[in-house]
Amino acid sequence: MAKLLYIHMLGYPAHFGQMETLKLIASPRFSDKRLGYLGAMMLLDERQDIHILITNCMKNDMHHQVQYVVGLALCALGSICSEEMSRDLSGEVEKLLKSSNPYIVRKAALCAARIVRKVPDLMEVFVPTTRQLLSEKNHAVLLTGICLVTEMCTVNPDSLQHFRRFLPNLVRMLKNLIMAGYSPEHDVHGISDPFLQVRVLRLMRMLGKGDEDTSEMMNDILAQVATNTDSSKNVGHSILYETVLTIMDIQSESGLRVLAVNILGRFLSNSDRNVRYVALNTLLRTVSVDYNAVQRHRSTILDCLKESDVSIRRRALELSFALVNKNNIRTIMKEVLAFLDVAEPEFKSFIATNSLVAAEKHSPNKRWHIDTVLTVLIKAGSYMQEELVFTIIAMLSQTDQLHGYHTQRLYVALTNDISQQPLVQVAIWAVGEYGDLLVTGQVENEIGGGEEEEEEEEGRREVVQVTEDEVLDVLERVLQSPQSSPATRQYTLNSVMKLSSRFSTSLPRIKAMVSSYGNNMDMELQQRAVEYCAIFSKHDNMRTEHK
Amino acid sequence: MLKFVLLVNKQGQTRLSQYYEYVPVEERVTTEADIVRKCLSRNEESCSFMEYKNFKVVFRRYASLYFIVGVDNSENELSILEFIHNIVETFDRYFESVCELDIMFNIDRAHMMLDEMIVNGNIVETNKSRVLAPIAVLDKSNR
């Protein structure tokens, strides 16, 4: 039987074992029963019909003398029961909940939790017993009792009201846990029963959400937990983490929130990576609630971008984008762009999209905006989406003074590298529209306050002067390169056409280029080429010199 | 809520798997392989948590075995890390200095211990003596 389970675990179908499990469960020997239930839990689930047959066996087992057998039945019931089974057996479970044996009560409570999740109507049956559960001394019973209550609250929000009355009990329980001395049973590294503490905190979080009074009651105890817990080990960290989450979710007073953010700040500078990850995660959630507090930790977050671990970097990135505003956008963008170089492909498109959005919302002046956009294009060009190309083009066409400047930059980028499609498309479009500016070497000085450092940086960039032939050379290279997509070729052909009215001396060459595409395989290119040739030949008299 | 517990060795072979939510068999194998590949590619320095599809995965390496626990988004990752350590200590006490072979040859016992500690995806018992008590009874009746 055990071997069958192993085979099942490896992934091979093991349906033939199901009848065997039934036979084993029905046998009186404990070990057989154990194996049978184990098999049942692993092999069966709600979608099989056979599990209904177990119901009777389970009912008998639940009345058994030996507590372990009862425990077995409850365990199995808890794991795999379905609606019908829960209705049948809920009465039994309730009786067992009231029993005096903590071993059984534990399991019964969890069983009840499952039943509540499956069949919410049966919840009323279990509500009165929960009160007794919560005042138990035994930790395990407490744990499962709280679990049951949490389950009920998730399923039915109205019960929250009912359970808020129990809050003083919970507070007292937590206080005992912290204050009480050393208890060897539940101790983990010097903190008594951290699992129970975490559970209680989570339940408090649920109870306090949206309710002023309950939150008031919790304020003291939360502050106490936060300050008293020893955070040198991971255990302490987990409790503090849960406390912070709770403080964030309930209507706590501002002092408490500051405390929470401080704890998170401490986490951020912790040497253990897990803790830092958790802190970043939580900060992401609190950014919407308390913006300023998070700003204080901005530099630490930016440092996290240089971490070697992928998850931390991703979190730090998201957090940085959430924190961006007019004041800090330059520093943040600098870091992000540096990060772009080393990031993996799946990050790049995320970064590109977000950088553009952030730049649009918060850029201090037009020139910086365009600079950033162009840098992003150059670095992450091939990972950007198609729609972004259009947005960029639209934005470029709106900034009148800077046409010459950005055409220059795009041209330079184009000569260096023609493999990144979005970059090439934007560059070609710009060259087509403003090619004359490129040729005359006119770079208008834009209006707008650049800071000192920025001026120096740009001033040093040379004004590129090119001839019309060179420009056409580049365009021809793009047209013929196998790396260009059909869309890029179309863009290029269009640009060549536009240049025919802007460039004065290269008309024959342009005509030759366009007509060579007259019999190209690609329908779209061919059509355009033929139409343009027609314009050349028949309507040359409409040509005016573009000033 | 815990979704599953897996024990996988460094070569990627699953030594123990327990799911608390119905997942069809083929999907289990592919998911396991995928998660294990990601865990194996992490080195000592990096984080013990990762996101996979719509849930979180917490893992830790003990000698040649990776203990992997999948949880949903509402669970506290650090406390799950503690829980993994608790499981390891319980196994240690029962098998006396546990190793991978112990788990392979006594997989039913290992399952039983897990079942005592987790029911339906929730942690029910963390006290080692109480977890090991029913198993001791079983052993005695078998002898």
Nearest-neighbour CA in chain A from B10: distance (Å): 16
CATH of the domain at B10: 3.30.450.60
Is A195–B76 a contact, with Cβ atoms under 8 angstroms apart?
A: no
CB contact under 8 A, A2 and B49: no
B1 at A interface, C-beta within 8 A: no
Contact B130 A103 (CB under 8 A): yes
Is pLDDT at A13 greater than 50 in this prediction? yes
Per-residue model confidence (pLDDT) at position A267? 77
Q: Which of A266-275, A501-510, B90-99, B111-120 has the highest mean pLDDT?
A: B90-99
A344 versus A47: the higher-pLDDT residue is A344
- Cβ(A133)–Cβ(A111) under 8 Å? no
Of A277 and A36, more confident: A277
| Residue A216, token pair as written in the block | 């008031």
Tens digits of residue pLDDT in B115-125: 778 877 777 77
Contact predicate B84/B60, CB 8 Å: yes
Write down the pLDDT at residue A444: 41
User: Rounded mean pLDDT of A18-24?
Assistant: 63
Q: Which residue has the higher pLDDT, B17 or A459?
A: B17
Do residues B132 and B90 touch, judged by C-beta distance below 8 A?
yes
Task: Name the pLDDT band for A462 (thresholds 50, 70, 90).
Answer: very low
Residue A12 has pLDDT above 60, yes or no: no
Contact A153, A170 (CB under 8 A): no
Q: Where are the alpha helices (DSSP H) in A44-189?
A: 51-62, 67-80, 83-97, 102-118, 123-134, 139-155, 159-164, 167-179
Residue A320 one-letter amino acid: S
B123 touches chain A (CB under 8 A): yes
Summarised one tens digit per residue, pLDDT across range A199-217 is 777 777 777 776 677 777 7
Sole residue written with tokens 């990576």: A273
Backbone angles phi, psi at A48, to 5 degrees: -90, 150
Which domain covers residue B25, as residue numbers? 2-141
Higher pLDDT, A449 or A164: A164
| CB-based contact B124 A245, cutoff 8 Å | no
Q: Which range is least confidently modeled, A72-81, A255-264, A287-296?
A: A72-81
The secondary structure element, H or E, covering residue A541 is: none
B110: alpha, beta or left, given left = phi > 0 and alpha = psi -120 to 50? alpha
The rounded distance, in Å, linking the Cα atoms of A112 and A125 is 10
Q: Please tell me the predicted confidence (pLDDT) of residue A138.
A: 64
* Other Cβ atoms closer than 10 A to A123: 19
The tally of domains found in chain B comes to: 1
Q: Is the separation of the CB atoms in A373 and A392 below 8 Å?
A: yes
Contact A311 B50 (CB under 8 A): yes
Length of chain A counted residue by residue:
547
Q: Are B56 and B77 in contact (CB under 8 A)?
A: yes
Q: How far apart are CA B84 and CA B68, in angstroms?
A: 8
Closest-CA distance of chain A to residue B14, Å: 7
pLDDT at A452: 35
Residues of B in contact with A242 (CB under 8 A): 76, 79
**Number of CB atoms found within 10 A of residue A338's CB:** 13
* Best of A9, A200, A209 to mutate (most B CBs within 10 Å, chain B): A9
- Does the CA dihedral A15-A18-A20-A21 come out positive or negative? positive
Q: Does A521 touch chain B (CB under 8 A)?
A: no
DSSP states of chain B: -EEEEEEEETTS-EEEEEESS---HHHHHHHHHHHHHHHHT--TTS-SEEEETTEEEEEEEETTEEEEEEE-TTS-HHHHHHHHHHHHHHHHHHHTS--HHHHHHTHHHHHHHHHHHEETTEE----HHHHHHHHHHHHHHH-
Query: Per-residue pLDDT tens for A382-437?
Result: 666 666 777 777 777 776 666 767 777 777 777 776 666 777 777 777 777 777 66
Is residue A10 predicted with pLDDT exceeding 70? no
Supply the pLDDT for residue A519. Answer: 72
Does the beta carbon of A5 lie under 8 angstroms from any beta carbon of chain B?
A: yes
Return phi, psi of residue A157, to 5°.
-60, -25
pLDDT in tens, B24-76: 777 888 888 888 888 887 766 677 787 777 888 888 888 888 888 988 877 78
For residues A266-280, give the mean pLDDT.
Answer: 76
Is any Cβ of chain A less than 8 angstroms from the Cβ of B135? no
B27 at the A interface (CB within 8 A)? Answer: no
Predicted local confidence at residue B75, as pLDDT: 77
**Mean per-residue pLDDT of chain B:** 82
Complex ipTM value: 0.71
The confidence band for A64, taking pLDDT boundaries of 50, 70 and 90, is low
Q: What is the pLDDT of residue A322?
A: 75
Contact at 8 Å (CB) between A455 and A445?
no
Residues of B in contact with A36 (CB under 8 A): none
pLDDT more than 90, % of chain A: 0
pLDDT tens digits, A167-178: 777 777 777 777
Q: What percent of chain A has pLDDT over 70?
A: 52
Other residues' Cβ atoms within 10 Å of the Cβ of residue A29: 12
